């Protein structure tokens, strides 16, 4: 890299695991490639990045920012004031830290920080995880220096000359599943010889998936199927009370999976939302997957994410509306269709991109070196 001065990088964004985990993966890659890099995260107060980033060993500063509340419009009255306050604080953060480059991964904090960095002449890079770009990234795309994307066809959102197709960074420790099925079964108190479904609603949980699993549990148990059920912290206490200990030998209910590698290793079929980060990990683990896109996301981008796999015969999709009637039956049929499982395993594995974190990190360091 040009010069010998230690490079300083700000990474902004968060809100969900789909934004936070790629951000941390990029930070880890930067540290592998240039160990003396100084890193600072900027997130949104009250969001999960304020816990997850320090747990990963990095400093984070919070902005008092929120997104548009589409369910309760009156709660948006303070939004202009919070935005103004966040931009002022972001400006102070940039001036104090003096970054060589700013990286935005999406989420509430990404907008004010990148907006400020662009104004102050700091080189900027956007990492867009989804097949449909978010409104903040679309607005900033023409102003930043580089846009790293995970899907083809993103020219409709960003200037073509700024786009680099990198794939999404994955948590390498989470997709390291080789030869772990028996270890996973032992630690999760499951049988390694029984068919197993992993249902994961992402870091926050998913109401539809939880309802489907709750109502289909008897059918799954009758089919002698084991379930690893990640339900989200918001839903855990209610589901724990309903399920009790009646299914403890066959159902492992958890609010959050701290060892995704073991859950992936134990699974024969995976049911999940279609967030971009989840899809990147599913490609890496190479297991048959049923995607249930969340309808509660901007521009229905999870359906677009899922179709990118379905169109390549790499996954199955059940809509959120149809899931209560179809999801459990679809999962059982897939579990017992080894020919179809083999096709899905082969096809989805071909879509895996293992080094997205380092490709993006090199682009960040390149921009930092040019500053």
Annotated binding site: 16-18, 130, 171, 203, 302
Which residue positions form the known binding site for UDP-N-acetyl-alpha-D-glucosamine?
Answer: 16-18, 130, 171, 203, 302
In a 3-state reduction of DSSP, which class is residue 99? Answer: coil
- pLDDT for 36 equals 95
The answer to whether 110 and 22 are in contact (CB under 8 A) is no
Sheet order of strands, 163-165 included: 60-63, 38-44, 8-12, 101-104, 124-128, 146-149, 163-165
> pLDDT tens digits, residue range 80-126?
677 778 889 999 999 999 999 999 998 888 989 999 999 999 999 99
HSE-CB for 367 with a 13 A CA cutoff: 26
Q: Which residues of the chain have pLDDT under 50?
A: 1-3
CA–CA separation, 201 and 263 (whole Å): 13
Predicted TM-score of the model (pTM): 0.83
Q: What pLDDT is recorded for position 2?
A: 45
d(CA 220, CA 62): 44
Residue 268 backbone phi and psi in degrees, to 5: -95, -35
The phi and psi torsions of 41 (rounded to 5 degrees) equal -95, 145
Q: DSSP letter string over 137-168?
A: HHHHTTTSSEEEESSS-GGGTS-GGGEEE---
Counts for the chain of helices (H) and strands (E), in that order? 14, 13
> What are the distances in angstroms from CA 175 to CA 48, 279, 352?
22, 12, 11
Instruction: Assess contact for 99 and 122: CB atoms under 8 A.
Output: yes
In this prediction, residue 344 carries a pLDDT of 98
Three-class SS state of 103:
strand
Cα-based torsion angle of the residue sequence 15, 17, 19, 23 in order, rounded to the nearest 10 degrees: 120
Q: Quote the tokens at residue 49.
A: 């990045």
Domains and CATH numbers, the chain: 8-169+355-370 (3.40.50.2000), 181-349 (3.40.50.2000)
CA distance linking residue 280 with residue 359, whole number of Å: 15
């Amino acid at each position: 890299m040009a010069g010998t001065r230690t490079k300083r990088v700000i990474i902004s964004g968060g809100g969900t695991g789909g934004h936070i985990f790629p951000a941390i993966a990029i930070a880890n890659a930067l540290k592998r490639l240039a160990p003396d890099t100084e890193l600072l995260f900027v997130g949104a107060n009250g969001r999960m990045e304020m816990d997850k980033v320090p747990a990963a060993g990095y400093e984070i500063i919070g902005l008092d920012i929120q997104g548009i509340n589409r369910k309760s419009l009156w709660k948006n009255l303070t939004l202009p004031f919070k935005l103004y306050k966040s931009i002022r604080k972001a400006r102070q953060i940039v001036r104090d830290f003096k970054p060589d480059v700013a990286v935005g991964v999406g989420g509430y904090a990404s907008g004010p920080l990148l907006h400020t960095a662009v104004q102050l002449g700091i080189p900027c890079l956007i990492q867009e995880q989804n097949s449909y770009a978010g409104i903040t990234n679309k607005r900033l795309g023409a102003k930043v220096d580089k846009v790293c994307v995970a899907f083809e066809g993103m020219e409709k959102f960003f200037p073509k000359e700024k786009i680099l197709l990198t794939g999404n960074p994955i948590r390498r420790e989470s997709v390291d599943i080789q030869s772990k099925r028996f270890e996973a079964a032992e630690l999760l108190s499951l049988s390694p010889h029984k068919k197993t479904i992993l249902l994961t609603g992402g870091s926050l949980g998913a109401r539809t998936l939880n309802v489907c699993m709750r109502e289909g549990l008897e059918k799954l148990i009758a089919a002698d199927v084991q379930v690893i059920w990640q339900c989200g912290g918001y839903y855990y206490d209610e589901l724990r009370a309903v399920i009790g200990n009646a299914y403890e030998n066959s159902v492992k209910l958890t609010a959050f999976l701290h060892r995704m590698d073991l859950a992936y290793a134990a699974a024969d079929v995976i049911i999940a939302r279609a967030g971009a980060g989840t899809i990147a990990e599913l490609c890496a683990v190479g297991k048959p997957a049923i995607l249930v896109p969340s309808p509660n996301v901007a521009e229905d981008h999870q359906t677009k994410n899922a179709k990118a796999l379905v169109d390549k015969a790499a996954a199955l999709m059940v809509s959120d509306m149809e899931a209560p009637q179809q999801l459990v039956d679809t999962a059982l049929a897939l579990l017992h269709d080894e020919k179809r499982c083999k096709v899905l395993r082969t096809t989805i594995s071909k879509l895996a991109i293992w080094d997205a974190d380092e490709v993006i990190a090199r682009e960040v360091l390149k921009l930092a070196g040019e500053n």
